[in-house]
Amino acid sequence: MPLLYYTAAAWAAAFALDVTDSTLSVDQTRIEKLARRALALDGAWEGGTLHEFLGAWEAGHAGAGGTVERARFHFQEALRLSSGLHASAYVGRAEALALPAQDRPAFEADLKAALAVDPDKDPTRRTAILVAQKRARWLLSRGGELFNDPEPAKETTP
């Protein structure tokens, strides 16, 4: 399982760094097949980590074979299998689904849920939780830049 997942994740990360690299672009089918094979073998592995990966994958390929509905399903499965302890699944869902849809309430709710995860509940993922929470705080601080809807105007007194 680790070989399948980490190979797919590293390969996908390399592709994400340069989506114009045609040698990596043609490997997208292989990346997806590795992840789906791992999912078929053990979908609950590492508390839904494969579902989290496929949620981001589906969202990133929406319109090119991936769907928002499948992305939503995979993120939900990742959260269910991790008992809500994968802060990165909340952050991933916020970035992959709520942000492109310009759904600010869902975006903020997911990021706040990530911040509410207690890192001490899963010591093996403590560092991953803290990193996801740092990103959640950063994204929340940039909400005005990320959304087309402006922040409410502040009233001024004459």
Residue 27's contacts (CB-CB under 8 Å, 6 or more residues apart) are: 11, 15
pTM of the full structure: 0.89
Q: Give me the pLDDT at residue 117, please.
A: 98
Query: Could you tell me the residue range of the domain that residue 79 belongs to?
Result: 1-83
Do 51 and 119 share a structural domain? no
Do 106 and 30 share a structural domain? no
Tell me how far apart the 2 most distant CA atoms of the chain are, in Å.
67
Mean pLDDT, all residues of the chain = 92
pLDDT band at 149 (very low <50, low <70, confident <90, very high): low
Q: Give me the pLDDT at residue 154, please.
A: 47
Using an 8 Å Cβ cutoff, are 100 and 68 in contact? no
Do 78 and 4 share a structural domain? yes
Residue 62, amino acid: A
pLDDT, tens digit, for every residue of 88-101?
Answer: 999 999 999 999 99
- Please give the Cα distance from 52 to 93 (Å, whole number): 9
Tokens of 131: 């990193």
Do 78 and 13 share a structural domain? yes
